[in-house]
Amino acid sequence: MLRLNTFQIFLSSSAAFFLIILLTHLSAPDGLAGVSSNISGAITRGSVKSIMAKSEVLWMKTVRQRHEVWEKFGEMGFTSPISSKVFPAKDGPTYFSFPYSVWDLVPASWNCPYEVERIGRMGDGGKWVCGMSRYEKKSRPCVLYSFGVQNESSFEQEMLERTNCEIWGYDFSVEAFGPAITNEYASRTHFMKAGISGTTDKEATPPFYTVQDLMVMNGHTYIDILKIDVEFAEFATITSLLTHTASLMQDFPIGQMLMEIHLFGNEYERTEPHTLGQFLDWWESMEERGVRPTWTEPNLLAVTLGLSDKMPRLAEYTFLNVKDPKSVLW
């Protein structure tokens, strides 16, 4: 995890970055003139930048609070196995020793400057999208990657109906998108039976690919929306993409991520992150690149289905890339 003084420098530079953007934009003659023409039509580009600047301040507050918890409780819980310390409070005495859970440390504290709408069915499978109205311009091409399809494609179907998005889907456990995809929109879908990982293995059956290698295969340099639900492979997958793009001094090439995070312990401890500290390292590696959590909800299926130790180890997050120069949101 980043040392506190290093992260303070990062926070200060981030705040300065957003202040410059805000002042530059608001000083332009047309800074408040452009008005969206749809559901978020009351929001001008100038006010979007203002909301972004305020959101950055709110996000930085939660980062500081996270580090304060680290400083106070770090030796008692952050190096322990995920199986035992992400939900440490079991009763009164343990609550006073560890008054937090893992999800308390990573709140969705960065406000989406537009409407947030659930796309797809209620329950498992649907996703919360920031600024759906911004993607609905039929004339604009849109690239959407969907990792982890299973047999439920209501999210993909609604995106096809309402946007001009073309969708690339990957799942090693099924042969195609789910039956929700209708013939009318099937021509804008592409499916490969393949897994997603931190390393590419074309010889495996089925094969596994990194995000960056799939983008090269498909001729893409940017993904508008990435949906990822890949049963704890999200950690290696996103780490690989972060490392790859940083080594080439490239922007993180995703505008919005809709991710289910799986913090299983016990039988899954062979995979990273092994500890709460490692999970927060991974989380902050995304934050360093401009990735911000803007929406979250618990997925309680781990509890109701009795998975692992019946703790709420699954959570849905919507992330925005606030340093993205190609985003349709700003």
Tens of pLDDT, residues 202-251 = 999 999 999 999 999 999 999 999 999 998 899 999 999 999 999 999 99
| Nearest one of 251, 254, 237 to 142, comparing CA atoms | 254
Tally the domains of the chain.
2
- Domain membership of residue 50 as a residue range: 4-102
187-198, pLDDT tens digit by residue?
999 999 999 999
Average pLDDT over residues 164-190: 97
Same-domain pairing of 70 and 135: no
Do 92 and 212 lie in a common domain?
Answer: no
Backbone angles phi, psi at 302, to 5 degrees: -60, -30
**Domain final residue pick, 51, 74, 102:** 102
Residue 329 belongs to some domain of the structure: no
Indicate the pTM of the whole model: 0.85
Contact 115, 40 (CB under 8 A): yes
Q: Is residue 328 part of a domain?
A: no
- Which of 69, 102, 135 is the C-terminal boundary of a domain? 102
Element (H, E) at 117: strand 116-119
Check whether residue 85 and residue 152 sit in a common domain: no
Judged by phi (left if over 0) then psi (alpha if -120 to 50, else beta), residue 196 lies in: beta
Based on the domain organization, do 204 and 309 belong to the same domain?
yes
Neighbouring residues of 55: CB distance < 8 A, sequence distance ≥ 6:
109, 110, 111, 113, 292, 294
Q: How far apart are CA 21 and CA 11, in angstroms?
A: 16
Q: Are residues 192 and 243 in the same domain?
A: yes
Q: What is the CATH number of the domain that holds 271?
A: 3.40.50.150
Q: Are residues 215 and 307 in the same domain?
A: yes
- Residue 315 confidence class, pLDDT cut points 50, 70, 90: very high
**pLDDT at residue 88, as a whole number:** 78
